[in-house]
Amino acid sequence: MPELPQWYFGYGSNMVSDVFTKRRQIQPLKSEVAVIESHTLCFDVMGVPYTDPAMGGIRLATAQDVPVYGVAYLLSPDDMRRVIITEGGGIAYKTAVLTATLQRDSTRISVITLIARHQIASSYERMPSERYMGLLIQGAKEKSLPEFYQKRLASQPTFKAVPNPRFRIGKWLFDSFWQRVAFYIQKGVHHFNDENGNVPGWFLNVFDG
């Protein structure tokens, strides 16, 4: 990884300071509101069933899509690596280099951002949870993203839990299993990551089954 600072584009929960700087302990050298006009926000990263069915991703935009807005953070190499590790070490996301436009002065910059490792058709996307969308809405407001984009986030349909015994039993069974799996995945990501923060290929093969 280059020793010079690089721009990272965050469009999901990493727009929220409590998540990015406090929980992930990343200290940006600079931050700017930006847009990637070639891509749009989507929810193509599979999350946790029953709770957070989908996480945010981005895909190529069509003429009808709203371009994805977010925050461009200038990061040190160590903090860029920390972003990759705290986002799963390449399990759910992979890095992409795209062009973003800063809203302050229309400067175009090259940014590193995250896209789904397993991209799916838009018809297979799932709805995000209210909790997750709340973070995106909070981050957009906190960073003063354009008002129309904040309204777009607020209008996003969200997953609603089904309040019946079958759902509650299914959730309990899955959570009992997933908590153990997630614990070992997290330990593996922090132990086996490379100089860029990504886990090795064999780890991905084990994860993919």
The domain ranges of the chain are: 6-208
pLDDT at residue 25, as a whole number: 93
How high is the pLDDT of residue 183?
65
- Whole-prediction pTM: 0.88
What amino acid is encoded at 131 in this protein?
R
Average pLDDT, whole number, for the chain? 89
Segment 139-159, tens digit of pLDDT: 999 999 999 999 999 999 999
Question: Residue 112: what are its φ and ψ, rounded to 5°?
Answer: -95, 130
> Is 9 marked as a binding-site residue?
yes
Q: Is 8 annotated as a binding residue?
A: yes
Residues forming the active site: 87
The answer as to CATH 3.30.470.20 being correct for domain 6-208 is no
16, two tokens: 């929220």
In one-letter notation, the amino acid at residue 188 is G
Position 2 scores a pLDDT of 53
Tens digit of each residue's pLDDT (9 = 90 or more) over 36-46: 999 999 999 98
What is the rounded CA–CA span in Å between residue 204 and residue 7? 26
> Is a pLDDT exceeding 70 seen at residue 209?
no
Q: How many CA atoms lie within 13 A of 38 on its CB side?
A: 10
12 annotated to a ligand binding site: yes
Give CA–CA dist 60/123, Å, rounded.
14
